[in-house]
Amino acid sequence: MPSIDVDTGTIVFINTLAHNESILSKLLRSPDWRKRFYQVSYRDQSGNEVSLWPEKFTLDYIESLRSDYQLVGRLRSFYKEYYNLIRSDEGFSDRWFRYHNGTIFNFSGRNWLRLPAGNGEPEKTLPVYVGLGIDFAYSVGEGSDFTAMVPMAVTPDFRKYVFPIVRAKMTTYDDVDASGRVIRKRNH
């Protein structure tokens, strides 16, 4: 871009969205670029699905493609390639979660999870492995992603208990106090 004449130069950038932080994603968010964004189908004003290119992609063919991608576990790729959407695979639901008010403690060098009685269940104490999953952000700028920290207890039969998570704009130079408030350790 620096080599283009600012008065007469033109850039045409044609791409498929591959990641939320890709060049295309940044250009789509920029107010400085004229943009056209296409998907293989869209909803008209009446809410009916319409193919963008019906001669090549009939609605039946689009559904067949989606089914083929889903069959091989690549539904995310279908949405990226045909809808320019960054999306997780279908089939994950918050209905899978059950909430507990458990506490972790260590006894004789082993971690345990105590679940209080409730919902017709007696109090339980289970042996657990304790871990922390971290997805680091590389910066705290306006367009940066969040850092997420997920503490988890896993029973020997692989049941997972997730404790309150931390999700904040922070880097390894930051910390979080007991209430979840981000503490800046130094300027960066």
**Domain range for residue 99?**
94-184
Q: Where are the alpha helices (DSSP H) in 95-140?
A: none
What does the pLDDT look like over 110-142, one tens digit per residue? Answer: 999 999 888 788 999 999 999 988 887 666 666
The reported pTM is: 0.44
The last residue of a domain, from among 58, 92, 126: 92
| Tokens matching residue 16 | 């498929």
* 88-117 pLDDT tens trace: 544 555 666 666 788 999 999 999 999 988
Query: Does residue 112 sit in the same domain as residue 60?
Result: no
Domain termination site, one of 59, 92, 125 = 92
User: Which one is predicted more confidently, 54 or 121?
Assistant: 54
CA torsion angle 126 131 137 142 (round to 10): 20
Cβ contacts of 149 within 8 Å, gap of 6 or more: 132, 133, 134, 165, 166, 167, 176
Q: Are 89 and 76 in contact (CB under 8 A)?
A: yes
Q: Could you tell me if 1 and 86 lie in one domain? A: yes
Same structural domain, 73 and 40: yes
Count of structural domains within the chain? 2
Q: Which residues contact 130 (CB under 8 A, 6 or more apart)?
A: 104, 111, 151, 152, 153, 154
- First vs last C-alpha separation in the chain: 29
Which two three-digit tokens encode residue 40?
A: 């293989």
Pair (118, 138) in one structural domain = yes
Tokens 């009939």, residue located: 58
Please state, in angstroms and rounded to a whole number, the distance separating the CA atoms of residues 110 and 179. 27
Express each pLDDT in 147-187 by its tens digit.
888 888 989 888 888 888 888 777 666 667 777 777 666 55
Domain endpoint, select from 26, 61, 92: 92
Indicate whether 17 and 100 sit together in one domain. no
Give the torsion sign (CA, 86, 176, 136, 173): positive
